[in-house]
Structure formats: C-alpha cells, structure tokens
Structure 1
Amino acid sequence: MWTFVLGAGFVVLWSSGFVGATLGASAGGAITLLAWRFVLAAVLLLLWRRRISLCPRQIAVQAGLGLLSQGGYLYGVYQAADLGVAAGTSALVAALQPIAAAALGQVVLGERANIRQWAGLVGGLAGVALVVGGDVSGHPGTPLWAYALPFGAMLALVSATLLERRTTSEVPVADSLVVQCVVSALGFGTLAAATGQLAPPMTGSFWFAVLCVVVLSTFGGYGCYWLLLRRTSVTTTSSLLYLTPPVTMLAAWAMFGQQLTVSGLLGLVICFAAVALVLLPRKLSVPRSMMATCSSPMSSTPPRR
C-alpha cells in the first residue's frame, strides 16, 4: 500500500516541477529560479534538521548525489531550454532514463528485467514520443551542442540512481536531502552570482513558483523518488518517469490552457499500459483451490517440488 502511495505521489509531485519551472522561468529566468529554489530548500531543511548523523564518507556520497541528481540533471534540462531546445526533445531524451537505468542496473547491481518488463520500457518510450511529438523542433538559432545537454542530464540522473542504490540505503532520506540541497544551493547560487542572475525579481508570481518547486518538487518529488528506490528496484522506480510527461500534459492543459491532441491522449494510454507491464509481478499467484486440485491424489501428475 505504501509503495503505491509513494509511486503515485512521485509521479504527481515530480510532474509539478515542470509546471513550477514554467511559472518561475517566465518571471525571473531559469538559473535565478534554480538558485533560490535550493537556497530556500536548504534553509528550511537546516532549520528542521539542525543536526545530521552522517559520517564524512556519507556526507561526501550525498554531496555527489546532489551534484548529479539536482545539479547535473536540472542544469542540463533548464540550460537546454534557455538555448532553444524544445521541451518535447528534452522530454524524449529524459524518457531514455528508464531504459538506460535498467540496462546499467543489470551490470552494476545485478537487477534483472524480464522480457515483459523490457517490452514495457520500450512501449513507454513510444508513448512519451506520442505525448511530446508536436514539440521537438527547437529554435532556428539553437547551437548543435545544446542538444547534448538533455543527454547529460539524463545520464546524471541515471548515475545518481545507481550510486544511491549501491551506497546509501542506511542514510535517512531527510538527512540525504539536507546535504543534497545545501550542495545544490552553493552550486546554483555561485553560478547565478557569476552570471549576474542572482538577484530575484520582487514579484509574487516568482516567489509563488519558488515555493511550489521547493515544497512539491524538491521535498515531495525527490523525497518520494529516493524512498521508492529503497523499496523497489531501479527498473520499477525509473519506469514511473514515463508517466510524468502525460501528467504534465494534463496539468498544462488545466492550468495554462495548452491544447490536448489525439496523439497526446493516445500516448498517455500507452504510457500507462507500458508502466503496468513493468510493474506486474513476475509470477502471478495461483489460487489455493487450484493448488489443492493439483496436489489431490486423483491427479495423474505428481506436484512439482
């Protein structure tokens, strides 16, 4: 039950980050939004968790996770958007994360995905392609190297996922978020100051967006992601990322009036079906009545042991 709640919360809260980014970036710019997002998150977490019980090695690992999952991932996505890479293109590249995580998880962690799960992973990528298919062109002046940024962001999140799975299962998620957000605040704050983008706009819409991405995306989305990763496999957790583009599409339609398309709705259905394939148990349970029949003396075939 808790796993289902975490999974549903993760999809909704992770998707909220794209909505918050739309609100905040339009009011103050992507780097400014990221800097103040993590400054506020770090301050709130430090006020709540004034003392963390982590050794230097654990702090170093959590700092690395923050640089990868928050710094590398978010910077790649936001900077690509600033350079003109279409949101659909970034979403398609991000949708490679479950497949990359499943493939590398087999090598690094020994977690095996079966044929049905691989079919679901490939099907989910096709579903995301339908959802974002109308927004993959980009702007004419976008430099070619900018398209490498979403790939770098995707690989950063994959690397963080595998690193967390291997090293930090004993670290409380709250302590993890403290270290990660402090590192991200220092990184994005330094970047914003160096590029002259640290001063925030004194508008209600900007600070409302900052508050939304702090509470919903940082505390909620990332918190659910790490908790879910500790309860399930890398393949299971990563596959839920397929549901974030369709949920974001519905949120953008409800909040910003963006048009829904037939292909987008079809992609939504395919994404849900694909994730269902991944999440189905490996072996369906056999009813007790059938087991009793199979083990009855009247059965001509002895039961397997």
Structure 2
Amino acid sequence: MTAPENLVEIWRGSLLESIHTGHVVVCGPDGEIVHNWGNADALVYPRSSAKMIQALPLVESGLAERKRLTDAHLALACASHNGARIHTDPVQRWLSDLGLDDAALRCGAHAPLDTKERHHLIREGKAPCQCHNSCSGKHAGFLTLAQSLGTDLEYADPEHAVQKAVFQAIDEVTQFASPCFGIDGCAAPNPATTVHAMARAMAFFASADSNGDARSRAAVRLRNAMMQFPELVAGEGRPCTRLMRACQGKAAIKFGAEGYFIAILPEQQLGVALKISDGSTRAANCAIAAILVKLGVLNPNHLEAQAYINEPIKNWRGMQTGWMRTAATLQ
C-alpha cells in the first residue's frame, strides 16, 4: 500500500467526525518488515524521535565513558524533556563540567513545559534559559563531542564535524542515504528518512548486543538509559514517560514533533516507526499505544493503555461528547 492508512478515529455521538491517517512499520532484527500500515517508503522527518541516533557518535566514540557520563546523562541526551528541575539541574551541571554555561547552547530558550517550573519563573520575574529547552540534553551531548573534536562550538551548523558524524550515523543505522534535511525546532539539522528505514534503525537498537562492537554497545547503553530513566526522557504526564513505565522495561519509546513515534523492543528485537500524516499528537499517542498492545509489551487493560487507546473527549462542562479510538486496521 502506498497511501496513508486509517489509524485513529474521532467519534462524536454516533458520527465518525474525523479520521487520522498515517504510516507504521515494524521491523525485525534483519531489517525485514514484520508489520506495515500505509506507505513504508514515505519520506518524512523523524524529528526528535531520532535523538538516540544523534547521540550515537558521543557514546560509540568512547567519549561518554571517558567523560564519565552516567546513564542519566544519556537519557537526557535522548530527551525532549519538560524543563523541570530534574531536567535543567543536571544539564546545567553537565555544562559546568565542560567549563561552559547556558550561553554555549544553540537550541534557543522557550518556556518550560513543566507547570511548576513555568509558574516559578513567572513569580520570580525570570525569563526561561536555554536549559529549559526540551532538547538541551541533546545539545549538551553535541557540545561534549564538539569539545573533544577540538572544533569550534557552533555544533548546530550542518557543516560542523559534529553534524557530519550524526548524518553518517543516521545513514548507516537506517541503511538509507538521506536526500535532504530540515532544521529542527531546536536549530539542529534533522535528516529525512523513510518510515521503513527508521523502523530498521530502531530494530538495530532493539537487537544490539552488549558484547558486540562499539556501535552495538553504544546502542544498548542508550536504549537502556531511556528505559531506566523514563522521567528524564520526557517528564510527568508525558506519553513517552507514562507508556515506558507501563511497559515495565520492555520498550524504549520516543516521540517526535508532527505526529512521529518510535519504539525499541529489546526482548522481541523489534523496531517501530510511526508517522501520523496530519501531524496530530493525540492521534500519534493513540496509535503508538495500540501498536505496543498489539506487539505484546503493553497490557491492553493497563490504565495507561486505556487512557490513550480509548481516550474520552469531554467538553468544558466535563461531559463526555465522544471518544478517540484506533481504526479497525489497528485493532
């Protein structure tokens, strides 16, 4: 099938009001397609769901070990975090250990997604800093690599040695030569790749062996760091954190902007890539939860599974007016 497939339905009363279409690929350890909905060859930006690949050069090079980066550091390198203190404090310490501060980051500043921290800044009359950016952990990793390479610190430049290493890693683990890149919200370049290629890369992470070569060992450490610290990968109330906790160590999960999701399933050596065509976050949340149930790593009766797969739609009075559910193709 080359067209997007119906994945998520929005019902209001007895009427099907909206349909979200998209593409999903599940790959096995050899890169073969195990399940496919929609167009496996759709070329899209994986956005922040590619962060574990972007962190590969940092770990594969041995630099993470030489710098004594902990698994918490690596979870932050893969994170799109809330900007809560549990996120910003370690990023600030990481920068300090490099002899740098917030000004060295190139991700830009935005208000923290964490309500408590956002209200604290308002009460204090302070503006958010770049460490509050959801991607500050990834950028701290980029800075670490840039320093070790002895280059300038303009690491977000697509021609910089850091990004060349990242581009090479992405092409190699996806087994796909990216034809183009876009600039992400955090100013870092984001190479486009197919949904199949991204699922193949996630299957590599899932089947990576701690006794393998440097890249395989790096992949194991990154996926395990994500599963060990789901609260650092996103934060309280966020789908990545909630679903990883619900999967109880059976999946590393990462969202990307515009309706993208990946999942790494080590026990089954499966990799998942999912893209909602219209970029809907709510549809992506629903679809990835359904896929995790289908693949047996998420209990369908778990409250978190039900929260996303059969999410009620309520109006401002609290009345349920409809519900969101997976289309028949995913059930």
Q: Quickly name the TM-score band, shorter chain normalised.
A: under 0.3
TM-score (norm. length: structure 2): 0.25
Higher helix share: 1
